[in-house]
């Protein structure tokens, strides 16, 4: 297995785990040079973890869900050695605990999505709407794609669920930005808010955003219908009423009071 050239490391690392599995080191694509499916899973498991460290037992459980090899520790050691030869010395450290070492400049899509949505939400809290926009778009674009497409394991399901939550947060952040900017962005705010209600049908904030966007584009009847959808769903499936915020929106619509902003 030919190691990646040193100058390629210096040029940067980009790792895509959502959607198509891609590992680019400098100008080289190396995912097809990894030691088979298990090697890709090993790399993805370590890369997706915030601290990129795992015990050998955790790795064995992650790699062999249904049937262990006859000598799992030896099989794991062989995979680690092959990955180390591909990625270079110092890329994988440890004995009882294995750590994947990536440069601080390395781009990992799942980590980028986590950071971007958090930054966007923080900037929205400070009313820095356009500053928040890139993070919301980046997080949504990454998290809409399926993590480790075609694979199935409990740890993969956990990351997929996390990315689904990141996706919902990113869509909500983007909808709030478009609603705050107003004017030509209001139709986009409505589209995003509607997507939010479909992805998270019990997240009331999505319905409230959709109602506001429809109201501000003059579609009051449609906004009332959205509220009724929320009220019916909560009553029939959870046995509760909409929140005070949603009820206040509904009351204002019935009275014909003017919108109160974003």
Can you tell me the mean pLDDT for 102-128? 95
- Read off the pLDDT of residues 34-65 as tens digits, 9 standing for 90 and up: 999 999 999 999 999 988 999 999 999 999 98
Q: Give the alpha-carbon dihedral of 232, 234, 236, 237, to 10 degrees.
A: 140
Note the pTM of the prediction, 2 decimals: 0.89
- Please report the pLDDT score of residue 90 as a whole number: 85
Give the helix/strand (H/E) hosting 25: strand 22-25
Nearest CA to 193 out of 183, 260, 203, 184 is that of 203
Tokens found for residue 246? 């949603």
Tokens found for residue 184? 């030509």
Q: Report the b/e string of 145-184 with b at 16+ CB within 10 A.
A: bbbbeebebebbeebbebbbebbbbbbbbbbbbbbbbeee
CA distance readout (Å), 127 to 72, 122, 179: 53, 9, 12
- Please report the pLDDT score of residue 5 as a whole number: 47
Q: Locate tokens 């590992």: which residue?
A: 23
Q: State the pairing for strand pair 28-29/107-108.
A: unpaired
Can you tell me the mean pLDDT for 6-11? 44
Whether 21 and 109 have beta carbons less than 8 Å apart is answered as no
Does pLDDT of 146 surpass 60? yes
- 157-160 CB contacts, 8 Å cutoff, 24+ apart: 159/48, 159/110
- 82/80 Cα distance (integer angstroms): 6
Whether 238 and 202 have beta carbons less than 8 Å apart is answered as yes
- 122/127 Cα distance (integer angstroms): 9
Query: What rounded mean pLDDT belongs to the chain?
Result: 92
Does pLDDT of 9 surpass 70? no
- 188/234 Cα distance (integer angstroms): 26
Q: Structural domains in the chain? A: 31-106 (1.10.10.10), 109-255 (1.25.40.10)
Whether 236 and 202 have beta carbons less than 8 Å apart is answered as no
Can you tell me the mean pLDDT for 88-116? 92
């Amino acid at each position: 297995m030919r190691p990646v050239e040193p100058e390629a490391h210096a040029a940067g690392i980009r790792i895509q785990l959502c959607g198509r599995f891609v590992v680019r080191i400098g100008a080289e694509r190396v995912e097809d040079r990894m030691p088979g499916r298990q090697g890709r899973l090993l790399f993805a498991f370590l890369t997706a973890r915030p601290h990129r460290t795992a015990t050998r037992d955790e790795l064995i459980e992650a790699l062999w869900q249904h049937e262990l090899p006859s000598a799992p520790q030896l099989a794991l050691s062989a995979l680690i050695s092959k990955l180390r030869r591909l990625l270079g010395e110092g890329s994988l450290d440890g004995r009882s605990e294995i750590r994947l070492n990536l440069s601080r400049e390395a781009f990992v899509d799942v980590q980028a999505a986590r950071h971007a949505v958090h930054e966007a939400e923080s900037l929205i809290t400070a009313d820095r709407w356009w500053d928040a926009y890139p993070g919301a778009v980046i997080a949504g674009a990454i998290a809409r794609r399926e993590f480790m497409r075609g694979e199935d394991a409990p740890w993969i399901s956990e990351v997929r669920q996390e990315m689904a939550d990141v996706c919902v947060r990113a869509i909500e952040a983007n909808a709030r930005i478009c609603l705050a900017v107003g004017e030509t962005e209001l139709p986009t705010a409505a589209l995003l808010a509607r997507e939010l209600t479909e992805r998270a049908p019990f997240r009331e904030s999505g319905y409230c955003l959709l109602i506001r966007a429809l109201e501000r584009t003059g579609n009051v009847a449609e906004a009332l219908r959205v509220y009724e959808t929320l009220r019916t769903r909560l009553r029939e499936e959870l046995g509760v009423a909409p929140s005070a915020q949603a009820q206040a929106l509904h009351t204002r619509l019935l009275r014909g009071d003017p919108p109160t902003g974003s």
